[in-house]
Amino acid sequence: MMQSPAVATIPEAISVMQELSSSLPATDGVACFNSMYLQVTEAVGAKLSEGAFVDPEFMDRLDVNFVNLYLRSYAAHGSQGQVCRSWRTLFDRRDDDRVLPLQFALAGMNAHINHDLPLAVTMTSQELGRPPSARGVREDFLAVNAVLAEADDAVRARLQGPVAARLDELAGPVDDVMASWGIAQARDLAWGQALRLWELREEQHRSARFLGALDSVVSLASHCLLAPIDVRGSRAADFISTAFGAVDDFGAGMLDALWGSDRDDNQPGPSLWDDDDDGGDDGDSGDGVVDRVFARLRDLRQGDAEPVLAPTTS
């Protein structure tokens, strides 16, 4: 168990993640994500050493704040502490042998980029007294995308292996469907959420509501990313693609609809989850936003002899 998760430098972060990788079995879902994130962090650290960024101080602090959000979440889960939905979805499913290594890695990147990165940008801006609009911050943020894409391609190839090749043979280009979740796209969305968080930095109540909504959206995406793929379903690839499309549409418009700048904070917001607050497809007739998305996924399954995607509880 990680006793002191906070790190102060990128080399220290790399060392902690290397230790974590060596302590976990390769099939562990967290290990699959950690392997990808370790390679990404090493690549960003190398670019910092080369002087590749306009504002290296900001990028260095951003990377440290970013990795600490992951390490603290992992440590909190191991000590039965409070963990956000975004990370809990992966942590609770980490031993599911029906889930592919690539699915675990992408679910971790989903939680880390879509939930943690907006927080890390805001934290770094507050820490250094430089808003996200400061010179070099956006440019450096975009420059990282190319670094991440190279590392992402290498790790995906290693994590897919012969299992994904067999899935392609039996159920269509499943790995191409999984690739519809992309790091660059996720980071672009995360930048937009970071700007909104920055605007809300002095409004504690609205900021908390915004983060709660974001956490639920990200958790929902991870539920879909971690759904076991049944290769016997002849429509597996089409189904997963459609399900991801539903989640993408949901995530793109949901936050503005719920937490727009003109929203009356005195009015209650719509429920994200059903009354039992488990976030899962439990058969209840919940009327929360997430429940309606799961209902859409159930509708997509109708007519399949073998269900190929089943949202699970966390």
> Tokens 């009015």 sit at which residue?
267
With the C-alpha atoms ordered 5, 8, 13, 14, is the resulting torsion angle positive or negative? negative
pLDDT in tens, 222-258: 887 887 765 444 444 454 555 455 555 555 555 554 4
Per-residue pLDDT at 60 exceeds 70:
yes
- C-beta neighbour count of 64 within 10 angstroms: 20
For the stretch 175-195, pLDDT in tens is: 544 554 567 778 888 998 999
What digits encode the pLDDT tens for the residues 64-113?
999 999 999 999 998 888 999 999 999 999 999 888 888 898 899 999 99
Q: Is the pLDDT of residue 126 over 60?
A: yes
- What integer pLDDT is reported at residue 251 of this predicted model? 52
Give Cα 166 to chain centroid, integer Å.
Answer: 26
CA of 85: how far to CAs of 58, 89, 251, in Å? 28, 6, 15
**According to the model, what pLDDT value does residue 118 have?**
95
What average pLDDT does the structure give for the chain? 75
Q: What is the pTM of this model?
A: 0.76
**Cα angle value 191/13/144 (rounded, 5°):** 35
Considering only residues 296 and 275, tell me which one the structure prediction assigns the higher pLDDT.
Answer: 296
Please report the pLDDT score of residue 132 as a whole number.
96
Tokens (6 digits) for 237: 């690839």
Confidence label for 172 from pLDDT (cuts 50, 70 and 90): very low
Tell me the mean pLDDT in the region 130-158. 83
Judge contact between 143 and 52, C-beta under 8 A.
yes
Q: What share of the chain is helix, strand, coil (3-state, %, to 5)?
A: 65, 0, 35
Residues 17-51: tens digit of each pLDDT: 999 999 999 999 999 999 989 988 999 999 999 99
Query: What is the pLDDT confidence band of residue 197, given thresholds at 50, 70 and 90?
Result: very high
Beta carbons of 293 and 306 less than 8 angstroms apart:
no
| Cβ burial, residue 72 (10 Å; 0-12/13-18/19+) | middle
Q: SS3 of 307, please?
A: coil
Distance from C-alpha of 33 to C-alpha of 29, rounded to nearest angstrom: 7
